[in-house]
């Protein structure tokens, strides 16, 4: 069972599609008798559904979208080794806002939209599932587990953020790459929405393994591998679920076993001060037993940029280790409203308009645009200085004494520190000019925003 996001784009490459179809074909040679695939928010439902007619005879069930499908066509009997129904599965893919709007009532407000819409849709699915259950009971005299899928953002997650009790962090990203397109608490689906009649709910969208609302029967398996450097410290799994029949009520209890997926390629995220990053990097380099391909992202303070790059240049890095990304840490430039933070409607009302305008100005005209040319010029000057002293340390006509080499090294160090100090002073002066510009810009823009705010209020009245 794959709960969506087969691809990371609605227009995957030929190579990506070939991998997908080869994977499905390879399953025919295994003991996997039932394959179910549903579309996610990154997928093209039409693309996934193209192979539907070919896949069905091979017991591969694909539901890319609910378009042109009845609930009955999304219910599948999963066959056991004897060809009998071992479970019933309702394959529900990602539902767009437009599709969900068909299932909400007029008294539904924004805070409950997702819960009400999903609950109404799942009830239509449940009605069809109950018919199949009765059919199986009449034919075999047995009860069977009932499985539901979904590709959505659920509330009450555990694990990656839940253990820290950080509800705000939980909302930040779904994949370590993109910020979620939700405002505050909107868009989250609570555990009570999934009908109790379903023995197990297999969800997709979140990239790490977690339960929903503390319920063992509602889970995300997570992605089987790293999708971004924010996930570099997250362990990835697939889930094996066995159903244990309960004698007292004839129901089934899901027994879930997480299976770690192999790390054939390593991803490492190093962040903090220059010293912390360099210590962590040296530790990775010194591990001579590790030969797997290792990709690294460095997240550093903006003031450490030039010195860090210079220090990294002096390290001998093995071929299997690559630094593929350099990023300045968020929050080192701006101290106003965080546009990467999710706010509830009540929180939004408390934020002053001038604060929002100032933050938008900073986001549109970041200081990094001014800082980068200055940092590049100083880096070039430092590189030239190093080359100069390297030549001085190895003169062609004579051999330097130990004391002379140490004196040259000390002289080089002092000049590099002097250049770094000059760079910091120039950056500080440029920041003062930039802040004055942003203040002037904000003062010009603010009346336009206030007028727009007044227009909205007048329209509501």
Mean pLDDT computed over 423-435: 88
pLDDT digits (tens, 9 = 90+) for 87-133: 999 999 999 888 888 887 656 555 578 888 999 999 999 999 999 99
* Residues 6 or more apart whose Cβ sits within 8 Å of residue 256: 216, 219, 239, 240, 241
The tens digit of pLDDT for each residue in 163-200 reads 334 444 443 434 433 333 332 333 689 999 999 999 99
Q: How far apart are CA 89 and CA 132, in angstroms?
A: 10
Judge whether residue 135 has pLDDT over 60: yes
Alpha-carbon distance values, 425 to 273, 371, 417 (Å): 19, 12, 12
Note the pTM of the prediction, 2 decimals.
0.68
Instruction: State the pLDDT at residue 346.
Output: 56
Is residue 37 scored above 70 in pLDDT?
yes
pLDDT value, residue 455:
85
Q: Which of 194-208, 393-407, 439-453 has the lowest mean pLDDT?
A: 393-407
pLDDT of the residue at 396: 67
Average pLDDT over residues 48-54: 88
Per-residue confidence (pLDDT) for residue 183, from 0 to 100: 29
Greater confidence, 298 or 169?
298
User: Residue 303's pLDDT is what?
Assistant: 80
Q: What is the pLDDT of residues 62-76, one digit of tens each?
A: 999 998 899 999 999
Count of alpha carbons within 13 angstroms of residue 181, beta-carbon side: 4
pLDDT of residue 313 exceeding 90: no
* pLDDT > 60? residue 312: yes
Beta strand extents in 277-401 (DSSP E only): 294-300, 321-328
Q: How far apart are CA 110 and CA 187, in angstroms?
A: 9
Report pLDDT for 344: 54
Residue 347: per-residue pLDDT: 59
CA distance 314 to 312: 5
Q: Percentage of the chain with pLDDT > 90?
A: 44
The CA-based angle 140-143-145, given to 5 degrees, is 125
Residues of the chain with pLDDT > 70, as a percent, come to 87
| Residues 341-366: b if buried by 16+ CB within 10 A, e if exposed | ebbeeeeeeeeeeeebbbbbbbeeee
Each residue of 334-364: pLDDT tens digit?
344 555 555 555 556 666 777 778 777 877 8
pLDDT tens, position by position, 209-247? 999 999 999 999 999 988 888 888 888 999 999 999 988
């Amino acid at each position: 069972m794959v709960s969506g996001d087969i691809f990371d784009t609605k227009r995957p490459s030929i190579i990506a599609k070939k991998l997908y179809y080869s994977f499905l074909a390879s399953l025919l040679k295994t003991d996997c008798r039932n394959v179910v695939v549903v579309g996610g928010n990154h997928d093209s439902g039409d693309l996934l559904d193209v192979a539907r007619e070919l896949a069905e005879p091979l017991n591969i069930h694909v539901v890319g979208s609910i378009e042109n499908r009845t609930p009955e066509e999304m219910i599948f009997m999963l066959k056991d080794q004897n060809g009998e129904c071992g479970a019933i599965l309702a394959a529900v893919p990602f539902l767009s806002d437009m599709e969900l709007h068909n299932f909400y009532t007029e008294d539904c407000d924004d805070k409950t939209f997702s819960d009400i819409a999903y609950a109404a849709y799942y009830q239509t699915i449940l009605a069809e599932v109950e018919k199949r259950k009765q059919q199986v009971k009449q034919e075999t005299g047995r009860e069977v587990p009932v499985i539901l899928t979904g590709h959505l953002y659920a509330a009450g997650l555990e694990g990656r953020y839940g253990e820290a009790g950080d509800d705000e962090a939980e909302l930040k990203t779904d994949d370590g790459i993109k910020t979620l397109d939700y405002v505050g608490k909107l868009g989250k689906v609570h555990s009570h929405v999934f009908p109790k009649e379903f023995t197990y709910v297999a969800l997709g969208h979140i990239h790490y393994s977690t339960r929903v609302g503390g319920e063992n029967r509602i889970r995300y398996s997570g992605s089987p591998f790293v999708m971004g450097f924010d996930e570099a410290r997250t362990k990835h799994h697939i889930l094996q679920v066995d159903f244990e029949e309960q004698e007292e009520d004839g129901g089934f209890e899901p027994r879930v076993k997480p299976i770690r997926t192999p790390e054939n390629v390593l991803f490492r995220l190093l962040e903090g001060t220059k010293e912390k990053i360099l210590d962590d990097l040296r530790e990775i380099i010194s591990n001579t037993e590790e030969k797997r391909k290792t990709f690294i992202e460095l997240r550093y303070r903006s003031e450490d940029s030039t010195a860090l790059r210079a220090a990294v240049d002096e390290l001998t890095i093995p071929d299997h280790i690559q630094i593929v990304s350099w990023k300045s840490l968020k929050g080192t430039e701006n101290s106003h409203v965080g546009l990467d933070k999710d706010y509830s409607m009540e929180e939004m009302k408390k934020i002053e308009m001038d604060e929002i305008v100032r933050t938008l100005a900073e986001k549109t005209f970041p200081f990094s645009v001014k800082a980068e040319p200055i940092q590049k010029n100083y880096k070039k000057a430092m590189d030239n200085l190093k080359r100069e002293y390297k030549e001085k340390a190895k003169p062609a006509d004579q051999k330097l004494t130990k004391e002379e080499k140490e004196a040259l090294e000390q002289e080089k160090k002092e000049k590099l520190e002097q250049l770094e100090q000059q760079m910091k002073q120039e950056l500080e002066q440029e920041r003062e000019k930039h802040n004055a510009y942003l203040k002037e810009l904000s003062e010009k823009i603010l009346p336009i925003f206030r007028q727009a705010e007044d227009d909205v209020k007048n329209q509501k009245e």
